[in-house]
Structure 1
């Protein structure tokens, strides 16, 4: 019986010591702690757009918006001569959007270019809506509707892009605008309702020179750029 009491007492003391050590390391709860998600939400919270003009709301700049990553500037200096207008414009974009990379942008823009050209030929309004600004989308749709009203169709085969380069970059408020000159090869012909070619050629490869401008609001969480202007480069 005495031996049993000693063992019981020993384990009791050990349990008390462990409890005290855990309490000192982990602390104790009082019932007034903030939920963990609340702390994260407060750190990441962004004022809604309609609150910007509210004098009671102070909108703080996002972290990383003051300066771009030095690696981003290095990539820009490799793309455009330091001190040039293009370099300055690209640096302004990278300052507003530290994730911006000129070569990566050109790669994405050329992919979008091919998708837009093909969608326009096919009358694919859904694809166009995701890639174009509202104004450009309305213009493209109007042209598609006129074509369809005349009973015309377009047969198009995108051959490839020979060259694509950024020729201008600037910030307009919080909106980044990037203009590219794109030289592509395309087989395209417009057919009337009887199937006769009325414009273009079904076999000839044509060089197409375009100047397109893409834009994105750098304060938006939407990472997508949209086409806001087009013109043929003569």
Structure 2
């Protein structure tokens, strides 16, 4: 009997050791994820996005509904819902407000705290960041985190939206970067808002020729003809740029007359 028991133990011992090793490896992996050293990717969600931040520029032209939603943060499961609406009510400017829904993995400390708060929020899957909390999130040490490459354009875009007045040159650089370098699916929604805000900032700085060239670039990148692609500008956004182009041409002619 003892010989039989020894035989059984000797047979299952490698499996027990394997299970123990997997448990230790899993615990190590969890610690690495919690400290932001590695990314945890859901096998059912290959985007690598854990939070979405809703933001608007602080330019005094944003409607109340859009402005009140500024700083809202959502779980991807909420955003993916077909009935998802980021605002409490519809845009009072009929979609003319520039809004951004920036997706991030968020591996740095401040972002991880937001992720934990979101997950603790339960079924709502959302929370509102104060202006200070949003600022602290964007000023965190994201560049040294494992998600820096994933989150770079989103962080710079969000910082530009809130800092257009204080540092317009930094905003211009961030918008140009989004326009030029957004290639991943999670970054593509940033491009059209970047065009819209960049044009606005250039106009406000009286850089008419640059603004006009930008609008023309926008029209070439998003021609009306052909198949509609995801993240193409809406008709309202096309109309805003067309109006801006007309005004810029008039201003340019008047300046040279």
TM over 0.5: no
- Indicate the structure with greater strand content: 1
Tell me which structure has the larger Cα radius of gyration.
Answer: 1
- Indicate the structure with greater helix content: 2
Normalized against structure 2, the TM-score is what?
A: 0.26
